[in-house]
Amino acid sequence: MLDSTGGVGLGELAVRLVGSLALVVGLLLLIARVVNRRLKAPAGATIQVVQRQALGRGQGVAVVSVGTRILVLGTTEQQITLLAEVEPDEIGLDQTPPEPGTEPAGVPAAEHGTGALSGSVLSPQTWKDAMAAVTGKRAS
């Protein structure tokens, strides 16, 4: 559709812009989904990342289940440091093998986040966990 000056109309330009944006967002979501599937450990894996929390740019803390051991690791861009080894009952983890079709071993049902904000600073559960750590009480 051409306007009186021989150019493309504003409406057609807007439709092209929205269509292009939808295509780019769709491709990004598809790529993110494929990458997430390839990076996830299988449910019965010996080593599983139970929880991960970023503390700053390139820094974080991870709780990792290795067999029957639970390790708290500090992570930076250059290294990983063992901070502590805790008992599964200290942090509310169930070490029993899961039934087929249920949640992975070591992940408590109430704390298993699957939302887009899970584990981020914007997640309400992250703030509950932080307050529980400060006050010494268990998060709900």
Tell me how far apart the alpha carbons of residues 37 and 15 are, in angstroms, rounded to a whole number: 33
Are residues 55 and 103 both part of a single domain? Answer: yes
What is the per-residue pLDDT for 19? Answer: 94
What is the per-residue pLDDT for 95? Answer: 57
Are residues 8 and 29 both part of a single domain? Answer: yes
Are residues 51 and 116 both part of a single domain? Answer: yes
Dig out the tokens for 121 from the structure: 């600073």
- Is 27 contained in some domain? yes
Are residues 32 and 91 both part of a single domain? Answer: no
How many Å is the Cα radius of gyration of the chain? 22
Are residues 93 and 65 both part of a single domain? Answer: yes
Each residue's pLDDT tens digit, 20-50: 999 999 999 999 888 877 766 666 667 888 8
Q: How many domains does the chain have?
A: 2
- Is 35 contained in some domain? yes
Tell me how far apart the alpha carbons of residues 67 and 52 are, in angstroms, rounded to a whole number: 18
Asked if 88 and 72 touch (Cβ cutoff 8 Å), the reply is: no
73 is in which domain, residue-wise?
A: 47-135
Asked if 8 and 1 touch (Cβ cutoff 8 Å), the reply is: yes
Each residue's pLDDT tens digit, 50-76: 888 998 888 999 998 888 888 999 999
- Is 126 contained in some domain? yes
Are residues 4 and 66 both part of a single domain? Answer: no
Each residue's pLDDT tens digit, 71-94: 999 999 999 999 988 887 777 766
pLDDT at 110 over 50: no
Q: 10-14, 80-84, 109-113, 132-136: which has the minimum mean pLDDT?
A: 109-113
- Is 140 contained in some domain? no
